[in-house]
Structure 1
Amino acid sequence: MIWFLEGQSSQRDVIAGARLALPEAVRIFASHRQNRPEITGLADVAWREPQDNEERIAWVIEQARANQIKVLLAGRVGHVYEAYRADFEAAGLQLVTGALDRDTFERVDDKSVFTREALAAGLACIPAITVHTQDELQDAYARLSRDGQVCVKPTRGIYGQGFWRLADDVDPFRSFANADAHEVNAAVFARAYGQSVDPKPLLVMPYMPGSECSVDMMCEAGKAVAYVGRRKQGLMQSFERDSAAVELAIKAARHFKCDGIVNVQTRDDAAGQPHLLEINLRYSGGIGYTREAGVNLPGIFAARRLGLPEPVSAWREDLQVKAITVVVSVRADELLRC
């Protein structure tokens, strides 16, 4: 038996991939802290998780033991579960969080620490200056802007929140008129940062003009067992597996000893050379796309962790995909359930 704990909305895709790969006799469990039957409804058994973290840990261990569950995959809060790894192991449970220890989460989640370590390890990574004040921001911008466009992002965060491209010639109102462009006047941004009540540290770095590659990977103690690179091209996404970006992602996963279904982000420079952006120690929002490439990463994960034959991959060349909205039917009584 296998249990997929609360994750992003793509938890539904992970459950679907596992179901395709596992024998019907293997029951799949899923849970979420919110009432999300449209996500967990594909599992054989769906539960509502407790809100409190410590209460949740005890509840998860109790439910897993009572239902003969062998493997548990953390999604949204892997670092919380990782802190209790010894408790899970003492209960005879195989916990998978994306890493093998809590320290790895700190080294990866803090992008300032991640950048320094990646560069020290010889991994191609975008160099960055960490700033905490308006003066530091302006000094870093002045230094880096001499060589090209500059961008900033928080040292912690997901989904690209807080990412901006800075320039002196951007209309001061552009960031308000078209926030999706992620362009802001450098002076306006610096003043706003200086006036913030509680400014969070930022990374100031050269902006890489090339395309991004999002590499979804199934890893075991740092070894990339299966992987698919996804590159956005306008509204479409294409797949790759033998590219320089994928090779860099594999090296990064090895160095940080990633364990589970994880995601590595890279971006190309003007010459087309990839540089590391970040590692997400959880499955990505686009994990469901990878099945279209002929590689069922959640299925491979579930089968291998349960000691079962893994699904055969059949790579599909020259394929592009695009996400569309899909309607999911949910019964009224499921929505009213606490």
Structure 2
Amino acid sequence: MIWFLEGQSSQRDILIGAREALPANVKIFASHRKDRPEITSQADVSFQEPLDNEERIDWVIATALEHGIKVILAGRNRSRYEEARGRFEAAGLQLVTGGMSMDTFLNVDDKSRFTAEAERAGLACIPAVTVNNAQELAAAYELLSCQGEACIKPVFGIYGQGFWRFKADVDPFRCLENPDEREIDFDTYLSIYKSRAERAPMLVMPYLPGNECSVDMVCEAGQPVAFVGRRKQGDHQTFERESAAVELALKAAAHFKCDGLVNVQTRDDHNGVPHLLEINPRYSGGIGYTRATGINLAGIFAVRRLGLPEPAGQWVDNVRVKPITVAVIAPS
């Protein structure tokens, strides 16, 4: 039996993929802190998790033992679960967090540290300058803007939150009129930045104009065993398995010792050469789209962790998908 703890918005897709691959007699468990029946109803058994982080870990271990669950995939709060790995192992439970130790999380969650380690390992990445105050921010921008457009993002963060592209000719009001474009002139950004004495550390880096590739993969002890790359092409997403971007992502996942369902993002420079953006030691929001290629990553993860035969997958070329919003019935 396998348990998928609260994860990203795609937890529903993960459960559907696992159910497709697992024998009917293997129970799937799922849980969430909130009332999310549209997600948890895809499992055979569902729970609502405690809100307190420490209480949750105790509850997960006790509940797993009570129900004979063997494998537990952490979604949110992965590093907290990783810190408690010894407790899970002592209870005979197989915990999957996205990494093999705290080193993975320390190296990838801190994007400044991630950049330094990637450079040390010879993995192509976007060079960055860490800034902690307005003076450092101005100096970093002056240095990098001489080489082309620059951008900024938080040292810690997900979903692209806090990312802005500096454009010299953009209307200062544009960041309020159309914030989704993530474009702002540097003087306006610096003025807002100065409005508070202390800010969280940020990374200033060159802006790469090329396309992004998001590589979803199943890793076991640092070894990728299944993977699919995704690119946004206008309103659609396309898929790839043999490309420089995918190759770079696989090398990065191996170097940072990823373990579980993880996601690596790259971006191409003006010559089409991919550079690492970040590693997410969790499944992505778009992982469900990859099933259209004939590769069921969630299913492959589930059966391999339970020691069952891997489902046959047949790669489908030239697939293009378009995400849409649909309503589903949420069981009461």
CA distance in 1, matches of 2:134, 2:166: 14
Q: Structure 2 CA distance, aligned partners of 1:125 and 1:228?
A: 20
Residue deviations 1:246-272 (CA, integer Å, cap 9, x gap) = 000000001001000000000000000
| 1:44 counterpart residue number | 44
What are the within-5 Å matches in structure 2 for residues 204-215 of structure 1? Answer: 204-215=204-215
Structure 1: which 5+ runs fail to align?
none
Deviates more, 1:319-328 or 1:18-27: 319-328
For residues 131-280 of structure 1, what are the structure 2 equivalents within 5 Å?
Answer: 131-280=131-280
CA contact (8 A) 2:110 2:155 kept: yes
- In structure 1, the residue corresponding to 2:194 is in which secondary structure? helix
Moved over 6 A (4+): none
Q: Which runs of 5+ in 2 are unaligned?
A: none
CA-atom RMSD in angstroms: 0.8
In structure 2, C-alpha distance between the alignment counterparts of 1:77 and 1:213, rounded to whole Å: 25
Deviation at 1:197, TM superposition (A): 4.6
Asked if the contact 1:150/1:206 (under 8 Å) is kept, the reply is yes
Whole-angstrom CA distance in 2 between matches of 1:267 and 1:313: 28
Within 5 A, what are the aligned runs for 1:112-127?
112-127=112-127
Output the TM-score relative to the length of structure 2: 0.99
How far 1:111 sits from its partner (Å)?
0.3
Could you list the per-position Cα deviations for residues 154-201 of structure 1 after superposition, in whole angstroms to 9, with x for gaps in the alignment? 001111011111133221111111111111010110121122253111
The aligned counterpart of 1:74 is: 74
State the 1:83 CA deviation.
0.7
What secondary structure is seen at the aligned counterpart in 2 of 1:153? strand
Do structure 1's residue 309 and structure 2's residue 309 form an aligned pair? yes
The 3-state SS of whatever aligns with 1:195 is coil
Q: What secondary structure sits across from 1:228 in the alignment?
A: strand
DSSP 3-state at the match of 2:169: coil
- What is the distance in 2 between the residues matched to 1:187 and 1:200? 19
SS of 2:153's partner is strand
- After TM superposition, give the deviation of residue 151 of structure 1 in Å: 0.4
Aligned pairs, number:
332
Q: Please give the alpha-carbon distance, in whole angstroms, between the structure 1 residues aligned to 2:193 and 2:106.
A: 25
Structure 1 position 70, deviation (Å): 0.4
On the 8 A contact 1:144/1:205 being kept in 2, the answer is yes
Q: Check if 1:90 corresponds to 2:90.
A: yes
Report what 2:107 is aligned to. 107
CA contact (8 A) 2:12 2:39 kept: yes
Native 8 Å contact 1:134 1:191 kept in 2? no
Q: Distance in 2 between matches of 1:65 and 1:180?
A: 45
